[in-house]
Chain A
Amino acid sequence: GENVEQHPSTLSVQEGDSAVIKCTYSDSASNYFPWYKQELGKRPQLIIDIRSNVGEKKDQRIAVTLNKTAKHFSLHITETQPEDSAVYFCARNTGTYKYIFGTGTRLKVLA
C-alpha cells in the first residue's frame, strides 16, 4: 500500500538509554527517507535523512539505518535526554513527488 507503518506509537525510555523507532513501506520507488521531530504545537523539524544509496547515516547521537531490500528504515537515538521528548515522524518520497508520513511516535524521556 501507500502508507508508511511506524512503530511504536509511544515509547518511554529512561534518560541515558537508547530509543529506536522503525518504519516500513512497500513502494520500491521510494529513495529518500527523512525523519522529523515535532514538539507540541510546533512545526516539524528535519533531524536526519537518508537516501537509498547508503545504508546508514549518523549525526552525533542520532542515526538512521535503511534496509532497502526489506523496505524498512529506523531512527536510533542514543544517550537520550529530556529535550528529546517529542513526536517523531518518518516519511518517504514516492514516484509522483508527494511525501507520505508515518503516523508518528510519541517519545517520552524520563529523567
Chain B
Amino acid sequence: DSGVTQTPKHLITATGQRVTLRCSPRSGDLSVYWYQQSLDQGLQFLIQYYNGEERAKGNILERFSAQQFPDLHSELNLSSLELGDSALYFCASSVYGGRDETQYFGPGTRLLVL
C-alpha cells in the first residue's frame, strides 16, 4: 500500500457525461500527479499540482481539468466523455514535486465509457 488513495475504484458512465475522480496523497506529500493508462498502453502524464498550484502540464485534453485543494487532495474532472476516454486513471504523489523525486502511485480508477 503506497498511502495514496483514489476513489472511486470503478466508474461506468455514458458518452457525453461528466465524472470526477478523487485522489488523496500520502501524508506529508505536497505534490500530486495525474496519469492516464489506456488498454495495453504506457502511462501518459496529464498534469501536476504542487501545494494547490498547477506546476506542469502534459497532453491533457481541454475537456479535462483538475485542481488541488487546501487539504491537498486533488480532483480530476472529465467532461463530454467519449468512448476513447475509457482507461485507468492513476494519481501519484511526492513530497515536494521535485524533478528527481520518487512518485508513489495510488490504486487507480478504472473508467468505462459506454
Contact = CB atoms under 8 A, between A and B. Distances in A.
Nearest 6 CB-CB pairings of A with B: A32-B100, A97-B56, A43-B105, A101-B43, A98-B56, A103-B42
Contacts, number: 58
25 contacts: A32-B99, A34-B102, A36-B105, A42-B107, A42-B108, A43-B106, A43-B107, A44-B43, A44-B90, A44-B105, A45-B2, A45-B105, A46-B102, A51-B100, A91-B43, A96-B56, A97-B99, A98-B48, A98-B57, A99-B45, A99-B103, A101-B42, A101-B45, A103-B42, A104-B42
Interface string A77-106: 000000000000101011111111111100
Contacts of B57: 98
A45 B42 CA distance: 14
Interface of A: 31-32, 34, 36, 41-46, 49, 51, 89, 91, 93-104
B97 interface: yes
Nearest to A102: B42
B55 interface: yes
Contacts of B33: 99
A95 B98 CA distance: 10
A97 B48 contact: yes
A93 B41 CA distance: 19
A89 B102 CA distance: 14
A13 B57 CA distance: 38
Contacts of B105: 36, 43-45
